[in-house]
Amino acid sequence: MTGRIPEELVDTIRAQADIVDVVSDFVTLKKTGKNYSGLCPFHNEKTPSFSVNPERQIFHCFGCGKGGNVFTFLMEHEKMTFIEAVRNVAGRLNIVLPDTSRGQGESSEAESLARVTQFAARFFHEQLLSCPTDSPVREYVARRGLSDTTIHTFLIGYAPEGWDTLIHAARRQDIGADWLEKAGLAKAGNQRTYDAFRNRLMFPILGPGGRVVGFGGRALSDEDQPKYLNSPESPIYHKSREVYGLYQSREAIRRVGSVVIVEGYMDMLSLYQHGIDTAIATCGTALTRDHARLVGRYAREVTLVYDSDTAGTRAALRGIEPLVEAGLWTRILQLPAGEDPDTFVRKHSGEAFRKRLGHPDSIADFVADQFDLSQADVREEALKTLAGLINKTADLRHRERYIEESYARLPVPQSLLAPILRRPKTEHAQPPGSQKTRFEDPERELVRLMLQDVEIAFIAEELVHPDEFTGDAYRTIFQQRLDSLKGDGASGPAALIDQARDEETARIISELTASEDTGADPESRARDYIARIKRDRLKREMAELMKKIHLAQETGDDSLGETLAALQQLKREEQALRRTAE
């Protein structure tokens, strides 16, 4: 499973890894007791049920059930192969791996694509840096006011004119045109394949982990259409999920807990240059639920600042819904007519923008501004729009505030708004560790104790036979736990996850180890579970024998006596078990 990286080295890397540190690159974690918790990056939620246990080096989500160790996390979240995940963690620890020159089959498609986009981003960047200052692209950059620091920080580049500059450069690095095509950087024509981006200023889009996943390309002159060309969807780029600038701004956004969402690459960069370092841009698409979810991992408050034209206003109105739905406290900053964030900061100042940012409009203000409230029918439409948004709000306190603001802003009696507001749906998500199965499954509970306590593992080995388990997964973990304790490799739960034969088994291991067992006297509980497992096994066997006895009575089979004797024996065993349990 581990390919050419020696097992002991994988054990070392796993043992030294800091899962909290790795997960923190993607999820904002808060310390809660011994563990850390945050919003799950694998499913949509408003209250955290995602838990990271630093002591056991595992993560688990009590909402969707995803769980595993540091490698599993990177494999699931960043779509890495096992070897790539090991390499990634080794890199963070400055552990040098033996050079297992990577063959074709060894990397995942995602990883290969990421290497291609990374190469292209570097290539475009170098092209821009090597252009003379009087070249059209340099003049364009100067006109837009992009500083050298910004160009470096955001790896901004230039896709040269000509049809195959990138293709040639890639070939020199052994990257075939087919890979460029897969990454959306080349297109196949009738005669030959050609560069997809030509004579454009290039904005690499980084995923939350810092990998280049796609590009936005701005035409240098207005005759070139479209004005913005974006990477097509690929296995690593989904425009409904990526936002521009998040990777570079994530620390600042986390620090203040709020984010400014703008429409364009230039808006985001311009704000950044003017000292507003908490902005991100949607990459030429409407704001989606996935965007809202992603943003929600870093901030709880959002201010939308869209162009103040009809299209911008409409986009902002549409953008509110996924944000409130994700439980984000949402405001809108309306700029003077005809302005966008880029033109505004350049004309006025970062300070002027910041001031306005301090007093954004409420959703009610914004909606009200879009309607002529002097007309009764229009007023009703405004009300419906607003109620529609408030009804989507996930957070109850937000909901109360949005309603108050609506009453304050709209010239309507409460009796009009109240009926359109539905009662809120309440969330049923449970906080980490509060999950309790209604009926304790003794196999499950025994395995849980075995994973947490080596002594109990050995007690169980003495008293239970694997065949006495009815649950395949629990039997497997039971066996695996004992095998690894007796082997000479790593044997903790995090290591077991890598050795697990399938995803489901790994998931159960992470689930059973994620929450600390706090019950008293684990050893006597373990003995009790063992007794229950054995009793259950005896009951099953007795039921089988009873069936045989009935059959023998009907058919006059002469095995009846033998079977009855066997049943007697089982009954005695059962009674003995009951006595020891009391």
Residues within the interface to Zn ion (CB under 5 A): 40, 42-43, 61, 63-64
By beta-carbon proximity to Zn ion, the closer residue of 264 and 296 is 296
Q: Which is nearer to Zn ion, 64 or 417 (CB)?
A: 64
Of 196 and 326, the one with the shorter C-beta distance to Zn ion is: 326
Among candidate residues 48, 23, 63, 28, the one with its CA nearest the CA of residue 295: 28
48 close to 528: Cβ distance less than 8 angstroms: no
- Single-letter amino acid, residue 287: L
64 versus 485: smaller Cβ distance to Zn ion? 64
Closest approach of Zn ion to the CB of residue 279, in Å? 28
Choice between 297 and 356, CB closer to Zn ion: 297
Shortest reach from residue 341's CB to Zn ion, in Å:
34
For 187, phi then psi, to 5°, come to -130, 145
404 CB-near residues (< 8 Å, 6+ apart) = none
CB of 295 to Zn ion, least distance (A): 17
Residue 250 or 297: the one with the smaller Cβ distance to Zn ion is 297
CA distances from 382 to 308, 322, 369 (A): 19, 19, 9
Specify the residue, 63 or 245, whose C-beta has the smaller distance to Zn ion. Answer: 63
Q: At its nearest, how many Å lie between Zn ion and the CB of residue 213?
A: 22
- Residue number, 49 or 484, with CB nearest to Zn ion: 49
Residue 228's DSSP bridge partners are: 218
Instruction: Quote the CA–CA distance of 17 and 71 in Å, as a whole number.
Output: 10
CB of 40 to Zn ion, least distance (A): 3
Question: With contact defined as beta carbons under 8 Å apart, do 339 and 313 qualify?
Answer: no
Residue 466 beta carbon to Zn ion: minimum distance, rounded to whole angstroms: 31
H-type helices in 177-282, by residue range?
A: 177-182, 246-256, 265-273
| Closest CB to Zn ion among residues 66, 331 | 66
Cβ(319)–Cβ(290) below 8 Å: no
d(CA 166, CA 179): 12
Cα angle value 247/249/255 (rounded, 5°): 120
Q: Which two tokens stand for residue 380?
A: 């009703």
- Burial (CB count within 10 angstroms: exposed 0-12, middle 13-18, buried 19+), residue 550: exposed
Upper half-sphere CA count for residue 423 (Cβ side, 13 Å): 2
Extended strands (E) in 267-393: 279-282, 301-304, 329-332
Which run of H or E residues covers position 58? strand 58-61
- Neighbour order of strands in the sheet with 258-262: 243-244, 279-282, 258-262, 301-304, 329-332
CA–CA separation, 505 vs 498, rounded Å? Answer: 10
For Zn ion, give the closer residue by CB, 67 or 341.
Answer: 67
Report how far residue 395's alpha carbon sits from residue 4's, in angstroms, rounded to the nearest whole number: 49
Residue identified by tokens 């095509």 is 181
Q: Looking at beta carbons only, is 431 or 487 nearer to Zn ion?
A: 431
State the CB neighbour count (10 A cutoff) for residue 476: 20
Give dist(CA 546, CA 558) in Å, integer.
Answer: 15
Nearer to Zn ion, 244 or 298 (CB): 298
Q: Which two tokens stand for residue 152?
A: 């470096």
